[in-house]
Chains A and B, each alone.
Chain A
Amino acid sequence: MLVAGVGILAAFVILAFMAPYAAPYDPIFQDGTARLMAPSPAHPFGTDNFGRDVLSRVVWGARIDLQMAVIGVVFPFLIGTVVGTLAGFFGGWVDVMFMRIIDVVLAFPFLVLMLSIISILGPGLSSFYIAMALVGWVSYARLIRAQILVLKTQDFAVAAASLGFSRTRIMFRHLLPNALAGSLVFVMSDAVLVLLSGASISYLGLGVQPPLAEWGVMVAEAQGFMTQAWWITLFPGLAIVVLAFGFSLTGDALADLMGVRE
């Protein structure tokens, strides 16, 4: 499972880095003589309504969609980890305050809150990242907090405190490394959620903007041509499914490996 999952992820990373060499055509080159062509040896995934090669666009899309999944996970992870550590370690009013904020964020349907924030920041990829950072940290904060609450009563933490180590040192050098396993597993399922959200928001026209080849954007652009050209819709979506599957498999394998139950 781990091999399959990591294999899929590695394949997409290589594809993203090698896009200029792996893609047979320029992803935004419009060939007026080759519009809406069905898959053929020259264009294995066919062409779209502008005569752009769908395979090349799917390959280049790996760059944007992978970047979206990675950046969309990293910031919430960092913010959530710090907040969760502080809330769990200090308890008291710090904990109460953060937990109330988390309750409110979780009361909103995830995508609805994302869209509300994007409506104010304006459409675009950077708005998506900001909205993601503002909303996504809560899951990590809850996971880490729960771990820290248990860990801080254990002997090694008490020993560290009695040795006179600073609170910062105990929090980040002793407690946090032991608390991370669960959220590292969660990173993988979160990456699926972030990928799907980013692609969905781009599909709605509020994320990545055309003519950039992002998979959600490609499906949105294909919608006017569903009656004539199924291939423009099929392939970008399949790319999302396979990449998401790679994240899920890796996550499941990591959970087994580390003995973490989700």
Chain B
Amino acid sequence: MHRYRFVLFRPLQFLPVLFGISVVTFVLVRLIPGDPARILLGTRATPTAIANIRAQYGLDEPMWTQYLYFLKNLGAGEMGKSTLYKIDVLRLIATRVEPTLALVLAGVVLALLIAVPFAAISARRQGTVADHTVRVLSTAGIGFPSFWLGAMLIILFSVKLDWLPVSGYGETLFDKLTHLVLPGLTIALSLSAVLTRSLRAGMVAGLQSDIATAARARGMSENIVFWRHVVPNALVPTINLLAINIGWLIGGTVVVESVFALPGLGQLMVRGIFSRDYMVVQGVALTFAVATVLINFVADIITVALDPRIEL
């Protein structure tokens, strides 16, 4: 079990990072010129409301005391109130998590469904036209802007073919799924470009490894060698690659949610910026940063669980 010892100790290393995240989000809102109470409440706030906010955040006290108030409020699950939606930011965020989470999951699953077969073709037929095509596509794919890819998919599948809805989310499960296909595909196409490159490299190494040679020597067919021995090994580093790219993936959802008018966290943040709803911007940024740290931690645990040779 000592391989899993890091599960206990790693969270301690998070503390300075979490501290830093809280300082950055705190400072961001304080950097806005003007009276913080007015900024938090909007221009039409009543004097009583302003007095309440001053007391809650200790706005007349020194900066570091204000920071402690900020932490205390955070500890109580209090991220302030949205000036636009008039409800608590944490509750607002809770209502918007589902589309974003579903979008990330759809993106990752679809990306694997695209990347594994392409990487397989490329790795098993090295030097052929198919291999070169996959490599050029995966190099070019990294440069596909997601907002443009999303718009092109809408033009093709919604406008020309009329197969899928243009935008929005929907109420029933089926409705939601149909609304997630194109946004998910947009994320997946960009992501699969990154995954294909790494998977191909892993598969090429795997095909030449001793494991593969030993399996062939035992008389296994090339197909079984590849799918049972090479592919699973090539997939382990992919989990880490996904974790490294999670920040980039979340950035992608922010843009894609705006393209497809998906009511997720990213769209909430962008609208918050336009309506100067600073508490919402701060809350979403904080949520995304903490989620990134946690996801990297979980990815480490999964990697260790999957590959007995790895020690962290």
A199 cross-chain contacts in B, Cβ below 8 A: 145, 147
Partner of A107, one of B20, B252, B281: B20
How far in angstroms is the closest Cβ of chain A from B101? Answer: 14
Residues of chain B from 273 to 312 with CB closer than 8 A to chain A in the complex: 273-274, 278, 281-282, 284-285, 288-289, 292-293
Q: Is A249 an interface residue (CB 8 A)?
A: yes
Does A115 lie within 8 Å of B152, measured CB to CB? no
Does B155 lie within 8 Å of A103, measured CB to CB? no
Partner of B145, one of A106, A109, A206, A240: A240
* Separation of A108 and B291 alpha carbons in the complex (Å): 9
Does B147 lie within 8 Å of A103, measured CB to CB? no
How far in angstroms is the closest Cβ of chain A from B289? Answer: 5
Partner of B139, one of A113, A203, A252: A252
Q: Which chain A residue shows the least CB distance to B255?
A: A200
Top 5 A-B residue pairs of the complex, sorted by shortest distance between their CB atoms: A244-B143, A111-B251, A104-B20, A237-B148, A109-B247
A195-209 contact mask (Cβ, 8 Å, vs B): 1 or 0: 111011001111000
Q: Is B192 an interface residue (CB 8 A)?
A: no
Q: Is B159 an interface residue (CB 8 A)?
A: yes
A226 cross-chain contacts in B, Cβ below 8 A: 151, 154-155, 159, 166
Instruction: Flag the segment in A20-28, A51-59, A154-162, A227-235 that touches B.
Output: A227-235
29 contacts between A and B (CB under 8 A): A103-B16, A103-B20, A104-B17, A107-B17, A107-B20, A107-B21, A107-B293, A108-B288, A109-B246, A109-B247, A109-B292, A115-B269, A115-B273, A119-B28, A119-B272, A120-B28, A192-B143, A195-B143, A199-B147, A219-B145, A219-B148, A223-B151, A237-B152, A241-B140, A241-B144, A241-B148, A244-B140, A245-B143, A252-B139
Q: Is B258 an interface residue (CB 8 A)?
A: yes
Tally of contacts, chain A with chain B, CB under 8 A: 153
* Separation of A104 and B14 alpha carbons in the complex (Å): 10
Given contacts A109-B248, A241-B140, whether A196 and B152 have CB atoms under 8 Å apart is: no
Q: Is B68 an interface residue (CB 8 A)?
A: no
A216 cross-chain contacts in B, Cβ below 8 A: 145, 147
Main secondary structure of the interface of A (DSSP, over half): helix
Q: Is B241 an interface residue (CB 8 A)?
A: no
B239 cross-chain contacts in A, Cβ below 8 A: none
- A-side residues, CB < 8 A to B, are 100-101, 103-104, 106-113, 115-120, 189, 192, 195-197, 199-200, 203-206, 216, 219-220, 222-223, 226-227, 230, 233-234, 236-237, 240-241, 243-245, 247-249, 252
A108 cross-chain contacts in B, Cβ below 8 A: 21, 24, 247, 285, 288-289, 292
Q: Is B32 an interface residue (CB 8 A)?
A: yes
B198-218 contact mask (Cβ, 8 Å, vs A): 1 or 0: 000000000000000000000
Does B140 lie within 8 Å of A112, measured CB to CB? no
Q: Which chain A residue shows the least CB distance to B158?
A: A226
Q: Is B103 an interface residue (CB 8 A)?
A: no
B250 cross-chain contacts in A, Cβ below 8 A: 109, 111-112
B157-179 contact mask (Cβ, 8 Å, vs A): 1 or 0: 00100000010000000000000
B16 cross-chain contacts in A, Cβ below 8 A: 100, 103
A205 cross-chain contacts in B, Cβ below 8 A: 274
Q: Is B142 an interface residue (CB 8 A)?
A: yes
How far in angstroms is the closest Cβ of chain B from A36? Answer: 14
Does B17 lie within 8 Å of A103, measured CB to CB? yes
Count B interface residues, CB 8 Å: 51
Q: Is B234 an interface residue (CB 8 A)?
A: no
Q: Which chain A residue shows the least CB distance to B29?
A: A120
Does B273 lie within 8 Å of A118, measured CB to CB? yes
Of listed B139, B151, B154, B270, residue having the most chain A CB within 10 A: B151
Given contacts A103-B17, A109-B250, whether A203 and B143 have CB atoms under 8 Å apart is: no
B20 cross-chain contacts in A, Cβ below 8 A: 100-101, 103-104, 107
B259 cross-chain contacts in A, Cβ below 8 A: 223
* Separation of A115 and B155 alpha carbons in the complex (Å): 28
How far in angstroms is the closest Cβ of chain A from B189? Answer: 12
Partner of A110, one of B140, B248, B274: B248
* Separation of A117 and B282 alpha carbons in the complex (Å): 10
B140 cross-chain contacts in A, Cβ below 8 A: 241, 244-245, 248
Q: Is B1 an interface residue (CB 8 A)?
A: no
Given contacts A104-B21, A233-B148, A240-B148, whether A112 and B273 have CB atoms under 8 Å apart is: no
Q: Which chain A residue shows the least CB distance to B23?
A: A104
A192 cross-chain contacts in B, Cβ below 8 A: 142-143
Does A248 lie within 8 Å of B139, measured CB to CB? yes
Does B258 lie within 8 Å of A204, measured CB to CB? yes
Q: Is B76 an interface residue (CB 8 A)?
A: no
Given contacts A107-B293, A204-B255, A237-B145, whether A120 and B154 have CB atoms under 8 Å apart is: no
Q: Which chain A residue shows the least CB distance to B247?
A: A109
B178-207 contact mask (Cβ, 8 Å, vs A): 1 or 0: 000000000000000000000000000000
Q: Is B31 an interface residue (CB 8 A)?
A: yes
Does B142 lie within 8 Å of A200, measured CB to CB? no
Q: Which chain A residue shows the least CB distance to B160?
A: A230
B152 cross-chain contacts in A, Cβ below 8 A: 233-234, 237
